[in-house]
Amino acid sequence: MAPSTSSTVTLDINGEKHTLSVDHRTTLLDALRERLDLTGTKKGCDQGQCGACTVLVDGRRTVSCLQLAVASQEREITTVEGVAEGERLHPVQQAFLDLDGFQCGYCTPGQICSAIAVIEEHAAGWPSAVTEDVRPEAGPPPLTPEEIRERMSGNLCRCGAYVQIVQAVARAAAETRTGTEGAAA
Amino acid sequence: MREFDYRRADDVSGAVALLGADPDARYLGGGTNLVDLMKTGVERPARLVDVRTLPLDRIEPAGDGGLRVGATVTNSDLAAHPGIRHRYPALTQAVLAGASGQLRNMATVGGNLLQRTRCGYFTDVTKPCNKRAPGSGCPAVQGEHHNHAVLGASEHCVAVHPSDMGVALTAFDAVVSYESADGPGELPLADFYLPVGDTPHRETALPPGALITGVTLPPAPVAARSRYRKVRERASYAFAIGSVAAALDVSGGVVRDVRLAFGAVASRPWRAGIAERVLTGAPATAEYFAAAADAELAAARPLPDNGYKVTLMRNLVVAVLSELAEEAAR
Amino acid sequence: MTTATTGAATPTGAVGTAHTRVEGRDKVTGAARYAGEIPFAGLAHGWLVLSTVARGRVLSVGTGPVLGMPGVLTVLHHGNAPRLTTDYVGMLGVPPDPTAAVFQNDRVPHAGWPVALVVAETPEQAREAAEALVVTYEQEPHDIAFSGTRPDTYPADGHMPALTEKGDVEAELAASAHVVDEEYTTPEEHHGMMEPHAASARWDGGRLEVVDSNQGTTWVADEIVRMFSLDASAVRVRSEHVGGGFGSKGLRAHQVSAVMAATVLQRPVRVVLTRRQMFSLTGYRSPTTQRIRLGADPGGRLRALDHRSLNQTSTVWEFVEPGAGVARIMYDADAHRTENRVVRLDVPSPTWMRAPGEAPGSFAVEAALDELAEKCGIDPIELRLRNEPERGPVSGLPFAGRNLAACFREGARRFGWADRDPRPGVRREGRWLLGTGTAAASFPAGALPSTAAVTAEPDGTFTVRIAAADIGTGARTALTLVAADALRVPTERVRVRIGDSDFGPAGIAGGSMGTRSWAWAVTAAAGELRERLVPGGTVPPEGITVRSDTTAALGALTQRERHSYGAQFAEAAVDVTTGEVRVRRMLGIFAAGRIVNPLTARSQLVGGMTWGISMALHEEAVRDGASGGLYGGDLAGYHVASHADVPAIEADWVDDPDPDDPVGIKGIGEVGIVGAAAAVANAVWHATGVRHRSLPIRPDRVLRAGEPRV
């Protein structure tokens, strides 16, 4: 096969399939922002050093600036534009809004996507760097403010909204738990 | 970033064949380091061979209580795996101490071992660097080096290896499996990284074009009581300035088995073999822990601004081993 | 036609009541579009090429091969770029930083100086072509060595006199019972706002439109008009959402090069800076070296105060980081001397960064006072209260409200200060030594002339138009509340439109002056509109619009020392065996004028305090002597505080309306960082007994200072 520098790809974004030709150099982040007009995902550093470009890929939070678009096929991509249910905000979005978990708003979509995943990772029993005992027999750690801070640390916020973001994540996590228990009951 | 060809490999031998002997081709795993280096111009590949979807994403039993970790297992899956957390808790701690949740979801085990130094001279193509541009010089020796190597470095390069995971794997005698054009092969992690010498650009003993397929953790009962401690310049999402992976088996107040490895002090995860030998059979007390650390660090050759690392590593060894000894006594 | 109604004669009470951000929903759903996100048909992409040498001149720009690369449209450089006018003084009273006036000559005054712009059809093509462009230089030796002992420093005014002096400092020091004489240093610090600088420029029907991310559309439009010698009416700058500014988002190389390229190519061009480019092109806070000498009588009353602050600036632009300005407001002494000096080096131009002067200056002054308190054996709060001046120590003017003592009293009560054991190094919890510290804060309360237009719409709503900027401050929301109260209508009936230079001149989001300046204009226009609307009268289809201009009102303000104040408290934990420092809690109590929106105000004050933690423990840009450029100039090499570094921080305030402001506002954007780093450093001393006079208090510095062996 002769070398080629672009490919036609199909990207599954927020439940919708988009087929486009991409330069292999194009990251998922740039494909979203420059090609698909999905500008909710932000470019803060373009080097995996700030988390502003966080999206969910197959349900897992990912920095889209280090993910090539051509390597993103056959994966389910969810951006901040796809987390609400119609007009009803995702509990994480609502908590950010109510508790003022942002100022300039530029890191916010990444923080929100990250927070959604943090709540799920914690629910799945994943330990973190501040979990005292990571052995499975120790059981899952409670989602304390310290756990939230560590797990959210890949999302920088220069305005300094961390205090309110942690409150928002805690509230949304509690609501999610209540919701789950309610559904189970 | 120059234009490049992109191929997705269907299987391991296909990946090796796609890469071939092309010095301008690179394997693409999670991309967390390679894509970054391409953006900064440090790497300018003409072809990427995507190996992320190869069937190397399993963690399976190996031997008598060991585990084999596939090369494309993500850092997150490695850290969350019950077997790892139960048998090698320091490995989970080390992985979780690295990068961020997002990056750990992307980064793979194979890529982690092959990641490049974060030395600010290496990552800036406007500056000299023997590792990136052999023969151009090492400005760190005279310049900024407060987070550079104190062990095993040379005048040609004082960069440190950035991996946390690799430190724990080194402590636990992990063995790297690979596939090359000549077939499969294995390299103990102890022999995986080459000495710096005057060839800092040559980093591993992997044959050219080889693809890492997995890492085997041999059985190590001592690892069940293990710990990873990392010190960095902010509380999270930063590379280490010093770290320790340690495992300790104490019986009757005496060290029966000990594993010790250091991070962020050398061009490779540093196995503290001298300290281990000093400690084995010695009383499990802070005095002996300190003596063992001193024995290991006697070879340290700090630069003007990184001598603190000798103190830091000594203190970390004493602190982590003391904690493990206390746990054992409980 | 519709009936015009405003509310009853009582205010609605919107000001002072918590209100979520009016654009909040757009921000949490990703619908809010920032500068680089507005679509343009036929958009081309520009990529800047920066110098790799720190001093010299450009010999050649190898455009030939690059112009043949895929998609490349043009390469602009000093040999072909449009000529600019730079001999003017802009709206903020300073000439333009030549770093923004790109491609005018072959001189290279610092590493990372813009030498070319490559424009291509796609960003990927532009980037590769920019990286492939070969530029040759005649390199000259550079000098970037910043130190307090250099012979070539000189006193510089900036926005305040370089020197103030009264009394005989040496005599008073000699007669003092207690003396502190120390040097404090702060490093080069960068704004690091999350949104990179981005601008798109296009000519449309004879008008230049620039969609930008900035702290003032009037400001940036005015600079572009002057630089490109255009009619003021021919330039429109829009900046609806701004991903942080902190002083850095004025006129910079990206707008100017985008306008040049759009002019040359006659098609829309966008230039977005990379994160690494931001570290050399968008300003920074200069490092400072500050010598402080304090002399006090046995009771802690200051007899002598001498503060000399030195910062670096570039060879092409003078910027003063006025660290020595702090004591001119905060503390009096029988002999009082303050001086700001600068030295010109082959470095990029520094600029305003959140609390310029006060942030580094307060670190030095408030740390020195803590040392003095220790020497005097007096509680640090008591020491400050004993030195509360009656009038401005330098100006002699009365204070327009100085509620610092109230802040300390309330803060001490809530922080539990009374139980504090003053001895250092005696509290341990596991591996951590614990300590607490305090510091005072102040920042000037100013206002800039602004105009606003308020329109009564036929549907009973009101539209406010003002060229304000919401860089995360919550200004859009605050102005909504202010307008609602001035109109005496519910906030739901008020729509505030900002970020457009076509709305008429307005002040910038800077110097903690934004909301105060704009609220004044909005209040004036809304108040007049309310009077004009006759109850039961009708509104024509085009609405009824009233415009205001605050220039005269501001000019008539009585001269007073007008400032916000605060008392900062921090608890720090230090592991002296590893050098790790963690802030465990922080409290700030502020007297900062009338608080318009408690929800967003608290966020902003807490944000400032978070900057204080970051400044105290993390932030330091390292300049490489050999190359003259930064070492690790990106967000991995330059550490700002992460989530894990920031504990539960509380900010609150005491009642402190400004008597001369129509709404009572003073300004809260900056006072939150002032003193915060000193409070942390003082807490580190209280924990360990070791004074850290050089920021940041990094693990290696803690280890070196303590050299503890376990």
**CB-based contact B308 C703, cutoff 8 Å:** yes
DSSP run (H or E) holding C227 = helix C217-227
Chain C residue numbers with beta carbons less than 8 Å from the beta carbon of A163 are 606, 610, 646, 648-649
CATH class of this structure's domain B1-49: alpha beta
Chains that touch B (3 or more CB pairs under 8 A): A, C
**CB-based contact B312 C699, cutoff 8 Å:** yes
Return the residue in C48, C615, C631 with the most chain B beta carbons within 10 A, the one to mutate for interface testing: C631
Look at the pTM and tell me if it is higher than 0.80.
yes
- Residues 445-474 (C) with a CB less than 8 A from some CB of B: none
Q: Chain A residue with minimal CA distance to C241?
A: A104
Q: Chain C residue with minimal CA distance to B237?
A: C642
Checking if the pLDDT of C8 tops 50, the result is no
- Cβ-nearest to C710 among B123, B234, B315: B315
Give the residue, C179 or C7, on which the prediction is more confident.
C179
Between CA C256 and CA C96 the distance in angstroms is: 12
Q: Chain A residue with minimal CA distance to C27?
A: A105
Of the pLDDT bands very low, low, confident and very high (cuts 50, 70, 90), residue C710 is: very low
- In Å, how far is A185's CA from the nearest CA of chain C? 31
- In Å, how far is C644's CA from the nearest CA of chain A? 5
pLDDT per position as a tens digit, C252-305? 999 999 999 999 999 999 999 999 999 999 999 999 999 999 999 999 999 999
C611 touches chain A (CB under 8 A): yes
Asked if the bond preceding A109 is cis, omega within 30° of 0, the reply is no
C637 touches chain B (CB under 8 A): yes
- Cβ-nearest to A93 among C28, C37, C644: C28
- In Å, how far is C26's CA from the nearest CA of chain A? 9
How many A×C Cβ pairs under 8 Å? 180
Question: What averages of pLDDT result for each successive group of 10 residues across chain B (330 residues)?
Answer: 96 97 97 98 98 97 93 98 98 98 98 98 98 98 98 98 98 98 97 98 98 98 98 98 98 97 98 98 98 98 98 98 94
pLDDT per position as a tens digit, C81-123? 999 999 999 999 999 999 999 999 999 999 999 999 999 999 9
> Under DSSP, is residue C119 helix (H, G, I), strand (E, B) or coil?
strand
pLDDT at A179: 67
- Cβ-nearest to B126 among C52, C127, C578: C52
**CB-based contact B101 A137, cutoff 8 Å:** no
**CB-based contact C699 B314, cutoff 8 Å:** no
Provide the mean pLDDT of chain C.
Answer: 96
Between CA B160 and CA C272 the distance in angstroms is: 33
Return the residue in B2, B234, B244, B322 with the most chain C beta carbons within 10 A, the one to mutate for interface testing: B234
pLDDT at B64: 86
Checking if the pLDDT of A182 tops 70, the result is no
- In Å, how far is B209's CA from the nearest CA of chain C? 26
Chain B residue numbers with beta carbons less than 8 Å from the beta carbon of A153 are 100, 235-237
pLDDT per position as a tens digit, C233-254? 999 999 999 999 999 999 999 9
Q: Which residues pair with A97 in a beta bridge?
A: none
pLDDT at A178: 76
**CB-based contact A163 C29, cutoff 8 Å:** no
How many Cα atoms occupy the beta-carbon half-sphere of C314 within 13 Å? 25
Q: Which residues pair with C235 in a beta bridge?
A: C208
Q: What angle do CA C648, C654, C657 make, to 5 degrees?
A: 130
pLDDT at C470: 98
B5 touches chain A (CB under 8 A): yes
Domains of chain C: 1-10+399-445+562-710 (3.30.365.10), 446-553 (3.30.365.10)
Instruction: Look at phi and psi of residue C305 and say left if phi exceeds 0, alpha if psi is from -120 to 50, else beta.
Output: beta
Q: In 10 A of CB C555, how many CB atoms? A: 8
pLDDT at C5: 57
Helices (H), chain A: 28-30, 91-99, 108-123, 145-151, 162-184
- Cβ-nearest to B50 among A71, A114, A155: A71
- Residues 309-338 (C) with a CB less than 8 A from some CB of A: none
Beta pairing class for A6-13 and A76-78: parallel
- The ipTM estimated for the assembled molecules is 0.98
Q: Which residues contact C296 (CB under 8 A, 6 or more apart)?
A: C176, C177, C178, C179, C302, C303, C372, C375, C376
C620 touches chain A (CB under 8 A): no
Checking if the pLDDT of C534 tops 90, the result is no
> Under DSSP, is residue C80 helix (H, G, I), strand (E, B) or coil?
coil
Chain B residue numbers with beta carbons less than 8 Å from the beta carbon of A116 are none
How many Cα atoms occupy the beta-carbon half-sphere of A120 within 13 Å? 14
A14 touches chain C (CB under 8 A): no
User: Quick one: which of C378, C322, C385, C372 has its CA closest to C350?
Assistant: C322
Cα separations in angstroms, C297 against C177, C294, C377, C387, C700: 5, 10, 12, 11, 37
Catalytic residue among C223, C374, C670, C707: C670
Between CA C318 and CA C95 the distance in angstroms is: 10
- CATH topology for B222-329 is Enolase-like; domain 1 (3.30.390)
- In Å, how far is B97's CA from the nearest CA of chain A? 5
Token pair for C369: 């006072």
pLDDT per position as a tens digit, C44-65? 999 999 999 999 999 999 999 9
DSSP run (H or E) holding C278 = helix C275-281
Chain A residue numbers with beta carbons less than 8 Å from the beta carbon of C194 are 42, 44, 50, 52, 104, 106-107, 156-159
- Cβ-nearest to A62 among B35, B46, B106: B106
> Under DSSP, is residue B154 helix (H, G, I), strand (E, B) or coil?
strand
**CB-based contact A157 C600, cutoff 8 Å:** no
Of the pLDDT bands very low, low, confident and very high (cuts 50, 70, 90), residue A145 is: very high
Q: Chain A residue with minimal CA distance to C669?
A: A159
Chain A residue numbers with beta carbons less than 8 Å from the beta carbon of C41 are none
pLDDT per position as a tens digit, A86-139? 999 999 999 999 999 999 999 999 999 999 999 999 999 999 999 999 999 999
- Cβ-nearest to A66 among B32, B40, B93: B32
Chain C residue numbers with beta carbons less than 8 Å from the beta carbon of A155 are 643
- Cβ-nearest to A145 among C34, C244, C648: C648
Q: Which residues contact C83 (CB under 8 A, 6 or more apart)?
A: C104
- Residues 133-162 (A) with a CB less than 8 A from some CB of C: 145, 148-150, 152-153, 155-162
Helix, strand, coil percent values for chain B (each to nearest 5)? 30, 25, 45
**Is the distance from CB of C475 to CB of C518 less than 8 angstroms?**
yes
Chains that touch C (3 or more CB pairs under 8 A): A, B
DSSP state at residue B178: E
B328 touches chain A (CB under 8 A): no
Between CA C57 and CA A4 the distance in angstroms is: 40
Q: Chain C residue with minimal CA distance to A130?
A: C644
- Residues 16-75 (A) with a CB less than 8 A from some CB of B: 23-25, 27, 46-48, 51, 54, 57, 60-63, 65-68, 70-71
Of the pLDDT bands very low, low, confident and very high (cuts 50, 70, 90), residue A185 is: very low
Return the residue in A80, A106, A151 with the most chain C beta carbons within 10 A, the one to mutate for interface testing: A106
**CB-based contact A109 C30, cutoff 8 Å:** yes
Token pair for C562: 């007008």
Per-domain residue ranges of chain B: 1-49, 222-329
C188 carries an active-site annotation: no
pLDDT at C293: 98
Chain A residue numbers with beta carbons less than 8 Å from the beta carbon of B31 are 66-68, 71
pLDDT per position as a tens digit, C374-391? 999 999 999 999 999 999
pLDDT at A184: 41
